[in-house]
Amino acid sequence: METIILVGHGSRRKEANNLGIIGGLLHELIHPGCSDNCVKVAYLQFSRPTLMEAIRDSVQHGASRVIIHPYFLSTGNHVTQDIPSEIEEARRHFTGVEFIYTEPLGVHNKLVEVVLERIHSARPTGPEDIEKRSLQIIDGEIDMSDVPPEQVPIIKRVIHATADFEFKHSLVFHKDAIPRALEAVRAGADILTDIEMVRVGINKRALQKWGGKVYCHISDPEVVQSAKRNGRTRAEVAIEHGLRDNVGIIVIGNAPTALLRIIEMFNSIDASAKTPVVIGVPVGFVNAIESKALLATQSFPFITNLSKKGGTAVAVAIVNALLKMA
């Protein structure tokens, strides 16, 4: 059995003794899913455990090899004298154990990258700079080379909005969805949403450039009365109420009932009729995944995701990505 010990200096400030976070990240990186305590931390001063305590604990739990890494930037006295002295003492006490002592952090090109990232973070930045940097980070975290180029800006925008890389794999696009959506935007078509939060999040200035507007009817008095009278959700009634000739994109970020109603309505009309593009990404545990799975089988243009995840942030991200692409 092998144990890794990260050794830090230690501080009188309790919050500064956070080497355990680095140890946890390292453990997850090299032993994902492991429940054993095979990456430990130790401190030279002001905090516990000490290096000898961490070594003793490792040996008592069966370690036959102990790798000790000095979490220091330079080769000062702690790295060249204090830690090696304790390792020699441990060798005398635990004769059957192999001890390996690594170089400190020292000079490394990846540290330069960390410094550069800290500089970028410290600079006064506006929303556009933050967005640009976020998208650069996404590029460095995930490979999009296997994704159709027209889908990449949308997937990246959704990941940016959710910090969830799973959407690369769960988003599903009808082959005509993106070109039809861009065509609708450029033609000045309107966008219809299921809830007010989605309407608020959409970049109306970008849409107005082409002459389109965003509508949500969930709070209209006639919608509220009709939903109550007929025992239906306001969202599905609002979508029915809002459909008109100039709607080019329908966005469902919250209500599976509204999405199911759209599918039902579009299946009842002539298959050759040109329907709005449906962006259906409701979130939740009741009918959300079922409604999206059904949407993914339709012949009319759609964008959806096959998971329980979704919601306003995802819906808005998709639409705003399309507006930016237009």
Q: What tokens were used for 231?
A: 């025992």
Q: What tokens were used for 27?
A: 């453990």
Q: Are residues 154 and 16 in the same domain?
A: no
Q: Beta partners for 66?
A: 3, 99
Q: Are residues 190 and 266 in the same domain?
A: yes
Distance, CA of 70 to CA of 22 (rounded, Å): 13
Residue 81, domain extent: 2-101
| pTM of the full structure | 0.65
Predicted pLDDT of residue 2: 93
257 within a domain of the structure (yes/no): yes
Are 191 and 316 in contact, with CB atoms under 8 Å apart? no
Q: How many domains does the chain have?
A: 2
Are 63 and 40 in contact, with CB atoms under 8 Å apart? no
Predicted pLDDT of residue 226: 93
Q: Are residues 161 and 253 in the same domain?
A: yes
Count of alpha carbons within 13 angstroms of residue 11, beta-carbon side? 7
Catalytic residue among 61, 160, 169, 241: 160
Are 302 and 296 in contact, with CB atoms under 8 Å apart? yes
Q: What tokens were used for 55?
A: 């070594």
127 within a domain of the structure (yes/no): no
Q: Are residues 209 and 299 in the same domain?
A: yes
Q: Per-residue confidence of the chain (326 residues) as pLDDT tens digits?
A: 899 999 999 999 988 899 999 999 999 899 888 888 899 999 999 999 999 999 999 999 999 999 999 999 988 999 999 999 999 999 999 999 999 999 999 888 888 888 887 877 776 566 666 677 777 788 888 888 999 999 999 999 999 999 899 999 999 999 999 999 999 999 999 999 999 999 999 999 999 999 999 999 999 999 999 999 999 999 999 999 888 779 999 999 999 999 999 999 999 887 777 899 999 999 988 889 999 999 999 999 999 999 999 999 999 999 999 999 99
Are 187 and 207 in contact, with CB atoms under 8 Å apart? no
Distance, CA of 317 to CA of 322 (rounded, Å): 9
120 within a domain of the structure (yes/no): no
Q: Are residues 302 and 153 in the same domain?
A: yes
Predicted pLDDT of residue 116: 82
307 within a domain of the structure (yes/no): yes
Predicted pLDDT of residue 128: 66
Q: Are residues 184 and 42 in the same domain?
A: no
Q: How far from chain centre, in Å, is Cα 311?
A: 14
CATH number, residue 275: 3.40.50.10230
Sheet holding 214-215, edge to edge: 171-173, 302-305, 277-280, 247-252, 190-193, 214-215
Predicted pLDDT of residue 224: 94
CATH number, residue 41: 3.40.50.1400
118 within a domain of the structure (yes/no): no
Predicted pLDDT of residue 10: 94
Q: Beta partners for 251?
A: 193, 279
121 within a domain of the structure (yes/no): no
Predicted pLDDT of residue 139: 81
| Helix H or strand E encompassing 41 | strand 39-43
Q: Are residues 232 and 318 in the same domain?
A: yes
Q: Are residues 166 and 288 in the same domain?
A: yes
Domain final position from 48, 82, 101: 101
Q: Are residues 295 and 180 in the same domain?
A: yes
Taking the C-alpha atoms of 110, 114, 120 and 123 in order, what is their torsion angle to the nearest 10 degrees?
A: -150
Domain final position from 101, 119, 154: 101
Q: Beta partners for 4?
A: 39, 67
Q: Which of 304, 285, 287 lies closest to 296 in space, CA to CA?
A: 304
160 within a domain of the structure (yes/no): yes
Q: What tokens were used for 198?
A: 């989605």
109 within a domain of the structure (yes/no): no
Q: Beta partners for 252?
A: 280
Predicted pLDDT of residue 124: 58
Q: Are residues 167 and 310 in the same domain?
A: yes
Q: Are residues 146 and 289 in the same domain?
A: yes
Q: Are residues 14 and 70 in the same domain?
A: yes
Active site residue 174: no
Domain final position from 101, 133, 157: 101
Question: DSSP states of 178-231 as a string?
Answer: HHHHHHHHHTT-EEEESSHHHHHHS-HHHHHTTT--EE--TT-HHHHHHHHHHT
| Helix H or strand E encompassing 55 | helix 51-60
